[in-house]
């Protein structure tokens, strides 16, 4: 179940750090610089962002780093966090993983939530530091306790898998719920799985459906597929083949091969949709092209069985439909 997500916390910090710049831009950039040079580290970091983003001045990563460093000298954790990102990416300074790690540690030790999370990812993946799941879990917990949803999700995953901590489904569910309540798709999906299996929570198909739906409504194909299965089997919701097909189609249109296969089954059997062998062949063909192993073998076998019932014109039409769908949905 473990799923790592890169942080978008940087963007959130940037919005916060540059808030109010619009009013300041009524002054000349020189006045802003002069004020920041004798002002607070927050103002100095703000000027760093002006240069980083080219707001009112030409973009200049080297100048951005100079202002970030000036702000960091006061021990400002936001500046430490952003400067370590510059070293990690080699923007305005030579790329230096060791320096990035040092700065991450400084910011994390001061309670910077983004640094705690990012440093946790580095320990989990062994990036710039020796891989250490226990240390990753410790850092995730520090950020998770401050409400960082990705840290909450990753900590839940570590409890679920027993990485860096003792496996504990109850704790996993607790952290997933905190992230899910903030809208984290993966956490919502994982809670659906756990309620369906009764892992760390009472087995409850209706509650599984509720969490699948929240993730499915955000476009998560795995949740859409599982929600379709719940409708097809009448688990947690009244059995409804048409609703099952609706969710299958949403997942299939994202290229999820198992949903494409099951959508083919629905068209072949006429469950939830009018029976249509041309559409069935199309979806089996697509499932075969986007899967491997047993799944592909099953899709090919079923597609070929359906093909034996089609006229040459119908087979050509089914192949055309599959080709057009494939062209309209390029693979990543």
Tell me the pLDDT tens digit for each residue of 257-292: 999 999 999 999 999 999 999 999 999 999 999 999
User: Is pLDDT at 23 greater than 80 in this prediction?
Assistant: no
Residue 312: inside a domain: no
pLDDT of amino acid 28: 66
Among candidate residues 9, 74, 11, the one with its CA nearest the CA of residue 44: 74
Q: Which tokens hold the place of 184?
A: 């984290």
Give the CATH number for residue 106: 1.25.40.10
Say if 331 falls within a structural domain.
no
Model pLDDT for residues 64-120, shown as the tens digit of each residue: 889 888 888 877 888 888 887 898 889 999 988 888 888 888 889 989 999 999 999
Confidence at residue 2, expressed as pLDDT on a 0 to 100 scale? 37
Averaged pLDDT of the chain? 89
Mean pLDDT to the nearest integer, 204-211:
98
**Number of separate domains in the chain:** 1
The CA angle 219-220-224, to the nearest 5 degrees, is: 90
Residue 195 lies inside a defined structural domain of this protein: no
Instruction: Supply the range of the domain harboring residue 122.
Output: 1-167
- Nearest 5°: phi and psi at 78? -65, -40
Is 113 a member of any domain? yes
Per-residue confidence (pLDDT) for residue 89, from 0 to 100: 87
* Whole-number Å distance between alpha carbons of 7 and 17: 17
Predicted TM-score (pTM) above 0.75: yes
Position 26 in a domain? yes
The proportion of the chain whose per-residue pLDDT surpasses 90, expressed as a percent, equals 69
Instruction: Report yes or no on 32 lying in a domain.
Output: yes
Cβ neighbours of residue 96 closer than 8 Å, sequence gap 6 or more: 87, 90
Q: Which of 18-27, 240-249, 279-288, 304-313 has the lowest mean pLDDT?
A: 18-27
Give the residue from 124, 195, 182 showing the smallest Cα distance to 154: 124
Residue 205 lies in a domain: no
Query: Is residue 98 situated within a structural domain?
Result: yes
Q: Is the pLDDT of residue 1 over 80?
A: no
In the prediction, which pLDDT does 83 show?
A: 85
């Amino acid at each position: 179940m473990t799923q790592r997500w890169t942080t978008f916390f940087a963007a959130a910090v940037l919005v916060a750090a540059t808030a109010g710049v619009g009013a300041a831009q009524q002054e000349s950039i020189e006045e802003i610089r002069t004020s920041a040079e004798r002002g607070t580290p927050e103002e100095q970091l703000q000027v760093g962002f002006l240069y980083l983003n080219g707001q009112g001045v030409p973009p200049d990563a080297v100048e951005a780093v100079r202002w970030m460093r000036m702000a960091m000298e006061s021990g400002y954790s936001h500046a430490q966090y952003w400067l370590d990102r510059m070293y990690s990416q080699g923007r305005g300074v030579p790329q230096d993983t060791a320096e990035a790690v040092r700065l991450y540690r400084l910011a994390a030790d001061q309670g910077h939530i983004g640094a705690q999370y990012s440093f946790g990812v580095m320990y989990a993946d062994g990036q710039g530091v020796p891989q250490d799941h226990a240390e990753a879990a410790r850092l995730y917990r520090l950020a998770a306790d401050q409400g960082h949803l990705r840290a909450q999700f990753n900590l839940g995953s570590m409890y679920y898998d027993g990485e860096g901590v003792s496996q504990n489904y109850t704790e996993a569910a607790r952290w997933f719920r905190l992230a899910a309540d903030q809208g984290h798709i993966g956490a919502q999906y994982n809670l659906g799985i756990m309620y369906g299996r009764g892992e760390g929570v009472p087995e409850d198909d209706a509650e599984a459906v509720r969490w699948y739906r929240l993730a499915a409504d955000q476009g998560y194909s795995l949740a859409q597929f599982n929600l379709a299965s719940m409708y097809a089997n009448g688990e947690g919701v009244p059995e409804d083949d048409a609703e099952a097909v609706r969710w299958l189609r949403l997942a299939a249109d994202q290229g999820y091969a198992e949903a494409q296969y099951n959508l083919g089954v629905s068209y072949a059997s006429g469950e939830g949709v009018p029976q249509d062998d041309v559409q069935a062949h199309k979806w089996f063909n697509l499932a075969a092209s986007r899967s491997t192993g047993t799944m592909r073998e099953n899709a090919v076998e079923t597609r070929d069985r359906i093909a034996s019932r089609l006229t040459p014109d119908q087979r050509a039409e089914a192949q055309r439909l599959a080709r057009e769908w494939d062209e309209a949905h390029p693979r990543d």
